[in-house]
Structure 1
């Protein structure tokens, strides 16, 4: 496996100090390694991940990559269906990929395939956005980048003459949805609550809804499903052991899982009573997800706060099923659930 290296400011500060050779502090799936001097190595070969091998090329969707933040060289991949009626405006689905804030890109075949399906079958204009990854860029970097995506989209809506041609031709800016899986679901909540509390302006675009697929939330107090997974140890692949490690890599140094970037109800989070304009939300909870109890608690608290939230459970499925098997029967049903929500709301 070939590796590429990057050096964080912490590493630069310790370089040449004459200390012992750096050792591996965290090794995450052999894909990301954090060394004791702050250096991060990333695998160029991602074959250790459960990637799909084929993405159908015959879907009626065209796509292109667009820079949304030149300062940080951040891009998104824009998809639009080619089979819709000429001049018909489509909802806009802004999608953030999973990977526990540490791994992933819209270029990975699994995320590309999912975005193709969403664009073709909702149908919608899909904006699948990359963001800075930890531990090189710890939270709230990813949340900040997500806000930058929506600031970019707001400018596109406000200045149609200078907007991207595809958006000008196809996007209905009155029907914008934020969506994401796992870490992307966490980001979707962050965007919805920031906008709902007036801390993130989108006008003239309108945030019509929020879709959270198995959102990646955390907390110091274990839920029953998290505790059972912890006791199972490393044998539970998408379980507590891995998620704890990725929170250590993603959160600010020294922060606990009760940091507001992980726990939406922790001190420092935007109070729900201030988020009057929180949009209708769809939350998907796989039955075998280690986070299922935390997600159910999230939905219960949101409903208690008067938010319009629908919880849809998927029997027999685990965390990330749409990513790991984007063409399976469960994913077919997931597309139908999201399509209904985008078309009809709650």
Structure 2
């Protein structure tokens, strides 16, 4: 029983990334081996083995009072798929806004089927009364960036094609929002930049904005003295995720690189809203504030919800903070999400 309790506690810490802050903030040199810390094993070909006992998944839910879910192939060649979440409110719910979601996990671990992520998305569908399309994108280092960006963009085209019965029967592609948590926030932002120049190709799908939940952004030298060993762990994730030979200071990692993307002008002219949620107990909160201020100076319609305390991953793991997030999203996107 003690072993099971310990394992369950560890799983929660990993999925919410609370353990990164707690362990590394107290750690003394030498640095914890990142492969052991993330329960992964490096392979000679550059891939990694994820120890399955630490990364459980759950099947779709076909009998829930919160939301139903089902898995649908996205690209059989890439072996990508999506998990759809439909609120269990009424059989007469039609024309629901569509949220295309990207999960967290440092680009290298976790899944939309991870228990905490799956539960969060069921509640998202229910509380916001939306159809959620959560993308099981390819993970690094086997598939380095921009693979994850490509996969979520594929999901936008998949929604646009309107071939799935849930999308066609219940969804309204003209009210689409890109949402992501942690590295998923990074993915949502970078896919949004791409999609901003593809508005004609994506019709009748129309993106109305982005929701970035504690987005995983960085830069060439973000708070290295302040975070010490923690920064080394962050660097480890990025070195496994970025294209081989890429410098840490690049557009994928740092939205402010080179003065920011020119596509921000498209986002501005399209009238998209960017909602950023965070809290100052998050180890990368300072960078999120910098990015918010940068967007604001660029004239982007950006709205923040920054709270006190807590930790990275809190909106996934804490039901009270999740409720605050849902209310924030409803307020920001009130013309498109009604309650």
Q: TM-score, normalised by structure 2?
A: 0.81
CA distance in 1, matches of 2:200, 2:110: 25
Q: Which has the higher helix share?
A: 2
- 1:97 maps to 2:90: no
Report the counterpart of residue 325 of structure 2 in structure 1. Answer: 334
CA distance in 2, matches of 1:39, 1:209: 35
Report the counterpart of residue 14 of structure 1 in structure 2. Answer: none
Cα shift at 1:31? 2.5
Judge which range, 126-135 or 190-199, deviates more.
190-199
Report the counterpart of residue 314 of structure 1 in structure 2. Answer: 307
Cα shift at 1:155? 1.3
Label 1:102 to 1:118 Cα distance change in 2 as closer, same or farther (>3 A).
same
- 1:207 maps to 2:207: yes
1:264 to 248, 255, 261: 255
Report the counterpart of residue 62 of structure 1 in structure 2. Answer: 68
Equivalent residues of 1:28, 1:245 under 8 A apart: no
Kindly tell me the number of residue pairs found equivalent between the two proteins: 302
Cα shift at 1:34? 2.4
Judge which range, 240-249 or 133-142, deviates more.
240-249
User: Cα deviations across residues 96-154 of structure 1 (Å, max 9, x unaligned)?
Assistant: 00011111111100110000000111010011111110111111111111111111111
Label 1:268 to 1:336 Cα distance change in 2 as closer, same or farther (>3 A).
closer
Report the counterpart of residue 53 of structure 2 in structure 1. Answer: 45
Unaligned runs of 5+ in 1: 2-24, 157-162, 234-238
2:201 is paired with a residue of what secondary structure? Answer: coil
Equivalent residues of 1:173, 1:206 under 8 A apart: yes
- 1:138 maps to 2:129: no
Cα shift at 1:80? 0.6
2:158 is paired with a residue of what secondary structure? Answer: helix
Cα shift at 1:290? 1.4
CA distance in 2, matches of 1:37, 1:342: 45
Unaligned runs of 5+ in 2: 1-6, 8-32
2:333 is paired with a residue of what secondary structure? Answer: helix
Please tell me the root mean square deviation across aligned C-alpha atoms, in Å.
2.7
Report the counterpart of residue 265 of structure 2 in structure 1. Answer: 273
Cα shift at 1:269? 6.3
Report the counterpart of residue 34 of structure 1 in structure 2. Answer: 42
2:53 is paired with a residue of what secondary structure? Answer: coil
Equivalent residues of 2:213, 2:277 under 8 A apart: yes
User: Cα deviations across residues 295-330 of structure 1 (Å, max 9, x unaligned)?
Assistant: 1111111111111000111222211112233x2x22
Cα shift at 1:36? 5.1
Cα shift at 1:26? 5.8
Label 1:202 to 1:299 Cα distance change in 2 as closer, same or farther (>3 A).
same
Report the counterpart of residue 181 of structure 1 in structure 2. Answer: 181
CA distance in 2, matches of 1:80, 1:126: 7
CA distance in 2, matches of 1:313, 1:257: 26
1:88 to 94, 98, 101: 94
CA distance in 1, matches of 2:271, 2:183: 19
Report the counterpart of residue 109 of structure 1 in structure 2. Answer: 115
Report the counterpart of residue 164 of structure 1 in structure 2. Answer: 164
2:299 is paired with a residue of what secondary structure? Answer: coil
Equivalent residues of 1:214, 1:319 under 8 A apart: yes
1:287 to 271, 280, 283: 280
- 1:296 maps to 2:294: no
Report the counterpart of residue 79 of structure 2 in structure 1. Answer: 73
